[in-house]
Each structure stands twice: as structure tokens, then as C-alpha cells.
Amino acid sequence: MFYFDDFYGKKILKSTKLKDFDCFFTTRNFVLTPSNRTDLEKEAEGNRIFLKNKLNCDNIITAKQIHSSNISIVEQGKFHYEDTDALISDIPDSLMILNFADCVPIILYDKKNSIAAIVHAGWRGTEKEIAKKTSVLMQEKYGIKPEDITALIGPSIGKCCFETNEDVFDIIIKDKSKTELYTREKDKYHIDLKLINKHQLTKTGIIDVDICDYCTCCMSDIFFSYRKENGITARHSAVVKIKRG
């Protein structure tokens, strides 16, 4: 279950499944990445320093996200990853963020082995199965079991607001018989990206999944929404600090 929490005075969204871990989603109240909202640059810079101080980390590990299915394994001493839409780390105390405005943010966390990933899955990343690929890579590289992985599917554009034409629908929904993933209204389609990502993760054996009901487009007073704000918007972030095992 997701709930709003207080991070030293800043509003964040957490899941009861990772309550005691530094894993959360930021809100408009705690912007870390201004994107094209240049008016928020100062605030975001201050918030990044605040985050590092409060979590006692010298660096934030992040990536240039390009809606791909490229996955990077975090290396010691390297803090920026080019053209990457998922980060995996097993380095104790490492602090990762990826950034979102409607795309699906996913946190994968193996509490037993202290290995975690953040995945950026917009419709393109969803179609390229980046969530599934990240889960498989975590399991193969570290020899961990899917039943030890907790998955949080965070706030993103919901089925209510993710309306597409047939061309995008055809790309994303390969199996039209899975009617739980979409609804059709005349020549428009509403697609449930969060549910598609959940199915990708459960296919890799992950059982423990928490899925957030919040739609960033409906709740653009709390989250950033690319669609609602016509692309002129900042980003909320998925934040993970790996606990020292």
C-alpha cells in the first residue's frame, strides 16, 4: 500500500512494503530534476544537496534517460550513465535516482541481498519490456531469487488519461485478447501501462508487487505530468539508497 510520508519536511510517497528502506517517490514539493522548468533549477539544486545530506551520501547516481531498454550496472565511483533507462546497484549506501513525468517508475529491491534497481518505463520502455529485462538481469547477474525481490510500481499516467491512437496501441498491446490491459472508445484506446509492467515482472517470477493507483495526470497538483502540462514540466524522482546488508 502506498502512502504519503514526510521526509524531513518534504512530501514523499512510500510503500508499506519498503517502509524501513530509503526507497520512495518524490512529489512537486521535493523536486530534484527541473528539466525544462528553468525557474525550478535553484530549488532542485538545493533539494539535491538536502537529499544527499539527509541520506548521508556524497553523490547521486543518475542517468540520461532516452526511452530505451538499456540497463546499466552501477560501478564504484561512476555517478552518471549515458543513454540508460534502468540502473542496478549492489553497492552499499549508493544513492540512485531516475526521473519521471507520467512514465512508469519501478523500484526493484532484494532486501535479503541488498541489491536494487530503478526502471524508467514509458510506453516505449514498456513495449521494449525494460522491466522484465531488468528483473532477469538482476537474477542472472547476482544469482538472486525472484521471490526475494519486492517491486514497487509507482505513480504514473493511468489508464484514465493515457489515451492513444491505434498506431501506438498496436505497438504496445501485442496480444489484443488481454482486454484487462486496455479499453477502447471509438477510435481511441486507453492503456494500463502499470498493469502491463506488473505482468512483465510477475512473468519473471516476482510475487511481491505493490502497484500505485495514483495517476500523475489526474493528480498534477502533486506530481509532474508531461501530458497535462504540455511538456513544460519538471520531474518527480524515484529514489533508492541501498541499505548496508
Give me the residues that bind Zn ion (CB under 5 A), please.
Answer: 158, 160-161, 215, 217-218
Answer whether 97's CB lies under 8 Å from 55's CB.
Answer: no
The full length of the chain comes to: 245
Instruction: State the minimum distance, in angstroms, from the CB of residue 163 to Zn ion.
Output: 10
Q: In degrees to the nearest 10, what's the CA dihedral of 230, 236, 238, 241?
A: 150
Residue 49 neighbours by CB distance under 10 Å: 11
Contacts of 231 (CB under 8 A, 6+ apart): 36
Answer whether 182's CB lies under 8 Å from 173's CB.
Answer: yes
Instruction: State the minimum distance, in angstroms, from the CB of residue 144 to Zn ion.
Output: 35
Give me the helices (H) in the chain, please: 41-55, 123-127, 130-142, 166-172, 193-203
Closest to Zn ion by CB, 26 or 220? 220
Instruction: State the minimum distance, in angstroms, from the CB of residue 165 to Zn ion.
Output: 18
Residue 168 neighbours by CB distance under 10 Å: 16
Instruction: State the minimum distance, in angstroms, from the CB of residue 217 to Zn ion.
Output: 4
**Grid cell in block for residue 205:** 517470477
Instruction: State the minimum distance, in angstroms, from the CB of residue 50 to Zn ion.
Output: 30
How far is Cα 241 from Cα 134, in angstroms, rounded to an integer? 18
How far is Cα of residue 38 from the mean position of the Cα atoms in its chain?
A: 23
Instruction: State the minimum distance, in angstroms, from the CB of residue 146 to Zn ion.
Output: 30
Please report how many Cα atoms fall inside a 13 Å half-sphere around the Cα of residue 95, on the Cβ side: 15
Q: Pick the closest to residue 180 from 198, 153, 155, 156 (CA basis).
A: 198
Instruction: State the minimum distance, in angstroms, from the CB of residue 105 to Zn ion.
Output: 16
